[in-house]
Amino acid sequence: MSFNQRLQVAIEQQNSLLCIGLDPDVTKLPASLRDDADAVYTFCHEIIAATHDVAVAYKPNIAFFEAMGLVGIETLTRLMQLTRHNIWILDAKRGDIGNTASAYAQAAFTHFNADAITLNPYMGGDTLEPFLRHADRGGFLLCRTSNPGSRDLQELILADGRPLYLAVADLAANQWNTNHNVGLVVGATQPDALKAVRTICPKLPFLLPGIGAQGGDLVQALNAGLDAHRSGLLINVSRSVMYASTDTNYAQAARAEAIRTRDAINQVRHSA
């Protein structure tokens, strides 16, 4: 079964498009964990335990764990073994050539056992191949990202009149998806761009950051990005779930916010 098929099965089983980003900031951890020698693991573990039946996927950002040194890598490794009925997307934005890309792929898929990884496609298709050769694992390619500076490159107009990000979308759908394991990262803050990418890529799954703290509108993003089956999206939320409370009830608060977000998504999905 290809990754994209696995993802769709998981979406149907969970009845959810919610992806929870795990971006543990040690300065924001609840006060109750200050004396915990394993605080980041405890915090993330409790968030996962409280939400694993609500979310379809988790997206740990490797930078937050790398910043902790060897302890962080060990913490991330342990966390990614906690639940295997959810999809794990390693947010690492890798992109390099030859043996380096192969080593990154081995780290993601063998060491961390990630189901998918975020990839930077701007060095070309040969940098993606070491990841995409694994048909049961996925690659979410940066296409039109949610940060304001993304327009510096992604909106550059090519000789054929298309912006660069639409050329990336076209390559993703028509050249790089031979193993049916390619997805795209498209920011929820740009619904018009999201709609344009969906037109070019009617069948690819999209990972959507930008809802919540970054200002993306959930309803607009869903209406622009849902596929013909009212699916095909992973709506990523991080801070609004992880830091729903900084009190001792942080896990319960995270669950409540996750349920609220999942239900808001499903209300739009199932309204048509």
Is 272's pLDDT higher than 70? no
- 158: how many CB neighbours lie within 10 A of its CB? 10
Model pLDDT, residue 57: 98
Model pLDDT, residue 34: 83
Token readout for 64 is: 């937050």
Is 167's pLDDT higher than 80? yes
Contact 233/249 with Cβ under 8 angstroms?
A: no
Model pLDDT, residue 84: 78
Spatial distance between the Cα atoms of 89 and 108, rounded to a whole number of angstroms: 9
Task: Please compute, for residue 247, the number of CA atoms within 13 A of its CA located in the half-sphere on the CB side.
Answer: 4
Q: What mean pLDDT is predicted for residues 146-154?
A: 86
CB environment 113-123: b (16+ within 10 A), e (fewer) = ebbbbbbebee
For the chain, the domains span 3-269
Model pLDDT, residue 213: 61
Maximum CA pair distance of the chain? 59
According to DSSP, residue 69 is labeled: T
Contact 220/264 with Cβ under 8 angstroms?
A: no
**pLDDT tens digits, 34-74:** 889 899 999 999 999 999 999 999 999 999 999 999 999 99
**pLDDT tens digits, 199-219:** 999 999 999 998 866 667 899
> By CB neighbour count within 10 A (0-12 exposed, 13-18 middle, 19+ buried), where does 98 fall?
exposed
| pLDDT level of residue 110 (50, 70, 90 thresholds) | very high
Tell me the whole-structure pTM to 2 decimals. Answer: 0.95
| pLDDT level of residue 82 (50, 70, 90 thresholds) | confident
Q: What percent of the chain has pLDDT over 70?
A: 98
3-state secondary structure of 87: strand
What are the catalytic residues? 93
Q: What mean pLDDT is predicted for residues 103-110?
A: 97
**pLDDT tens digits, 208-256:** 998 866 667 899 999 999 999 999 999 999 999 999 998 999 999 999 9
Model pLDDT, residue 212: 66
Spelled out in words, what is the top-level CATH class assigned to the domain 3-269? alpha beta
Model pLDDT, residue 19: 98
| Residue keyed to tokens 């009190």 | 247
| Lowest mean pLDDT across 101-115, 127-141, 147-161 | 147-161
Query: SS3 sequence, 155-200?
Result: CCECCCCCEHHHHHHHHHHHCCCCCCCEEEEECCCCHHHHHHHHHH
Q: What percent of the chain has pLDDT over 90?
A: 85
Spatial distance between the Cα atoms of 266 and 233, rounded to a whole number of angstroms: 12
> By CB neighbour count within 10 A (0-12 exposed, 13-18 middle, 19+ buried), where does 192 fall?
exposed
Q: Residue 126 CA to chain centroid, in angstroms?
A: 22
